[in-house]
Structure 1
Amino acid sequence: MDEHIGAEGFRFDYRPPAIRFGASATSELGAELDAHGVERALVVAGTTTGTVPAVIEPVVDGADGRTGEVFAETTPEKRLDTALDGARRYDETDADGVVALGGGSSLDVAKAVRALAASDDRAAAVRAFAESGSLPVPDTLPPLVVVPTTLAGADLTHVAGLRTTPESGHVESAVDGGLSDPRLMPDAAVYDPGLVATTPEGVLAASAMNGFDKGVEALYARAATPVTDGTAMRGLSLLREALPTLRGDDPAYGDAVRGTILVQYGISRPDASTLALVHAFGHGLTTHSSIQQGAAHAIIAPHALAYLFERGPCRRDLLADALGVDSATDPAAGVVEAVTAVRDGLDLPTRLRDVADIAADDLADIAATTAADRLVENVPTGIDTSAAALEDVVRAAW
């Protein structure tokens, strides 16, 4: 066991939602809403997800009359203006709860809608976001039930991304921020593999890489615990088998969803997070280009892991066990190879130079943004996370 894990005990303060999983689990959505006293939930969904009958109809039907209007206006940009529009729709429809339907973008915007719906002064909240990049979270929030349709693992968390640009009239320059508070954790999460199966193959594959990397980081991050070790290892063992099938004729949606639930369990806690270097690189890459988060992870993860293993143990043996690496194999090389195999099985990008709007001249800026990301604090002690060191990783991925 590495020296940064468990040597002096640990604290695991996690406040998860009720989790419901199964085929046609959406048929029980009404029971989850009823458990939290919700009679008219505003359904917050993407511009596509919220209008596709195969997705929205099972949700509305399963809510058993406990949904009001469908607000199908979220986009991957996670815009503050979208959240403000959603909060206004919440008021207009006399809603008393929120259902977040879709991928990470919809779930993040839904959390912002929830915070703004409960705010006594939305104008002040917008000013605070413009000044600090952090949207205030009121003490009391309406109930939230999430119904994920991707495998990004953005469900069991109390943080959300949010941004605004000068076009909104709120800021003079773009602000990339979000909101974070333990009270933002959903009250319930409903996982239906049938809904996940409706997501386009390419979108689902990219989201799967994002979720998969959450399990990888949960094992080596400084804030790892025996609890997260157990869930992440089981989740990774499911995902390494299930994810490559998503591009085939017999997709293992059920195991992919089970694995995604497990790898994110306990990684977002009031006093800790296990997101680390791979996710920090993801932020750096998406800040400086239009690359999607999952595609960014696909390219950078093998190189980031190789860099970590060159400089410290980083629990390579535990990762090797979780990923089914042969005991006779060099654990570090085996883990990198296993992660690469999952990436390739999902048919995701492999080089930064193939991303249209990333140039060689951008690499230093990407490294600097990554080095300044708060998630690098979760990298094991003693590993250099300076911009100069991380630029070597980005160039290796180039």
Structure 2
Amino acid sequence: MISNLPFVYEALPMRVLFGVGTRSSARDEALRLGMSRVLILCGPAHEGVAGEISRELGDLHAGTYAGARMHTPVEVTEQALALARERRCDGIVAIGGGSATGLAKALALRTDLPQIVLPTTYAGSEMTPILGETKGGVKTTQRSAKVLPETVIYDVDLSMDLPVHLSGVSGINAIAHSVEALYARDANPIVAVLALESIRALVNALPAICADPHDRAARTGALYGAWLAGICLGAVGMSLHHKLCHTLGGSFDMPHAETHAVVLPHALAYNAPAIPEVMARLRDALGVDDVPAALYNLNRAIGAPRGLRELGMPEDGIDRCVELAVANPYWNPRPLERAQLHALLTRAYLGDAPSIDLSVNQGAGS
């Protein structure tokens, strides 16, 4: 049954290559996009893969910047931008997770250079026209067609060596994109189908990866689920969960995927009273009675951090996060209330189980 009428669905223009060994297509894709002087972007962990890609690119390779960092600090972008200008680059190939993708987008915003992204995690940001940047301890986000990558190359082989811990929290991060897409203000039936398929794929794959990191079928399922989650993230707006995670990441330089993993069960529990139809669809899709509890238990099963204090958040940061969240809020199906947000963040900080407030009236907020 289609309940969210009327709706608008806008497909984003992007080319996706998905398979095993697909990174060998990097040179062909660069030539297709008219690149002749390519800048490779990565973090320190992916310099080896960057070297392989540079050899694949051959004479198209003009330079490599290996300093990508979480939350896309503006000062890092300025360093990479200086190298791009020095080497007269006309295209970007980014290899890695959200840090490398974010840096590529930041450069594209400033230069309009075409991008090819090769994800190595389940972040999903490669599928979106969204850029989050951090300056002075504050993370801000914007949507712009200029930052949307032209090509994304998903190669299952690039995810096979992703450590089990990072696989798990990166996958939960992707689940968060799909969960929030289900109750977005601009939700639509197409995105809902993709979101539920994504959640099922990831919930099935992540425990299997934890049990056997070399399970290629599980790795393929997780990458598939992450791709779909990225489509959802790029197609509709996000809500409370993403606002809290962006605030925490920008204010306290906390690890991106781990923060999403910890916060998701609590943010969903906060919104649950206002989204009964979504909660029913999630219960059916996952075969559970309590979805926030199931996500909390999934975190435990994959070895995610129990609470925000394990990630280095100071206890007095709860108040700051609440104020930032309500000062410039994202749309949310339930109104943002300081006391309830403080309770949510306190549970997330301590690592307690999520709690649904059954006394809250159903309805939409802002």
Q: TM-score range by the shorter chain?
A: 0.7 to 0.9
User: Which amino acid letter does the alignment assign opposite residue 346 of structure 1?
Assistant: I
Task: Note if contact 1:21-1:191 (Cα within 8 Å) is conserved in structure 2.
Answer: yes
Alignment deviations for residues 4-43 of structure 1 (CA, whole Å, 9 cap, x no partner) = x523x11112313100011111011122212211122111
Residues 178 and 284 of structure 1: CA distance in aligned 2, closer, same or farther (over 3 Å): closer
User: Which amino acid letter does the alignment assign opposite residue 253 of structure 1?
Assistant: R
Structure 1: 5+ residue stretches without partners: 119-140, 166-173
CA distance, structure 1, for counterparts of residue 244 and residue 138 of structure 2 = 19
Q: How big is the shift at 1:384?
A: 2.1
Residues 356 and 74 of structure 1: CA distance in aligned 2, closer, same or farther (over 3 Å): closer
Q: CA RMSD in A?
A: 2.2
TM-score, scaled relative to structure 2: 0.87
Q: How big is the shift at 1:68?
A: 2.1
Question: Match for residue 44 of structure 1?
Answer: 41
User: Which amino acid letter does the alignment assign opposite residue 151 of structure 2?
Assistant: A
Residues 247 and 373 of structure 1: CA distance in aligned 2, closer, same or farther (over 3 Å): farther
Task: Note if contact 2:244-2:325 (Cα within 8 Å) is conserved in structure 1.
Answer: yes
Task: Note if contact 2:38-2:61 (Cα within 8 Å) is conserved in structure 1.
Answer: yes
Residue 295 of structure 1, aligned match among 242, 251, 258:
258
Task: Note if contact 2:9-2:188 (Cα within 8 Å) is conserved in structure 1.
Answer: yes
Residue 316 of structure 1, aligned match among 232, 254, 279:
279
Question: Match for residue 221 of structure 2?
Answer: 255
1:115 pairs with 2:101: no
Which secondary structure state, in structure 1, belongs to the residue aligned with residue 75 of structure 2?
A: helix
Structure 2: 5+ residue stretches without partners: 351-366
CA distance, structure 1, for counterparts of residue 71 and residue 279 of structure 2 = 35
CA distance, structure 2, for counterparts of residue 191 and residue 149 of structure 1 = 8
CA distance, structure 1, for counterparts of residue 300 and residue 52 of structure 2 = 33
Percent identity, please. 26
Task: Note if contact 1:215-1:233 (Cα within 8 Å) is conserved in structure 2.
Answer: yes
User: Which amino acid letter does the alignment assign opposite residue 256 of structure 1?
Assistant: A
Task: Note if contact 1:325-1:338 (Cα within 8 Å) is conserved in structure 2.
Answer: no
TM-score, scaled relative to structure 1: 0.80
Residues 243 and 83 of structure 1: CA distance in aligned 2, closer, same or farther (over 3 Å): same
1:153 pairs with 2:124: yes
Question: Match for residue 95 of structure 1?
Answer: 89
Which secondary structure state, in structure 2, belongs to the residue aligned with residue 265 of structure 1?
A: helix
Residues 351 and 234 of structure 1: CA distance in aligned 2, closer, same or farther (over 3 Å): same
Give the paired residue count.
Answer: 346
CA distance, structure 2, for counterparts of residue 342 and residue 62 of structure 1 = 39
Which secondary structure state, in structure 2, belongs to the residue aligned with residue 38 of structure 1?
A: coil
What does 1:175-194 correspond to in 2, within 5 Å? 175-194=138-157
Question: Match for residue 343 of structure 1?
Answer: 299
Task: Note if contact 2:177-2:232 (Cα within 8 Å) is conserved in structure 1.
Answer: no
CA distance, structure 1, for counterparts of residue 275 and residue 107 of structure 2 = 42
CA distance, structure 1, for counterparts of residue 238 and residue 142 of structure 2 = 16
Task: Note if contact 2:71-2:249 (Cα within 8 Å) is conserved in structure 1.
Answer: no
Which secondary structure state, in structure 2, belongs to the residue aligned with residue 14 of structure 1?
A: coil
Question: Match for residue 6 of structure 1?
Answer: 4
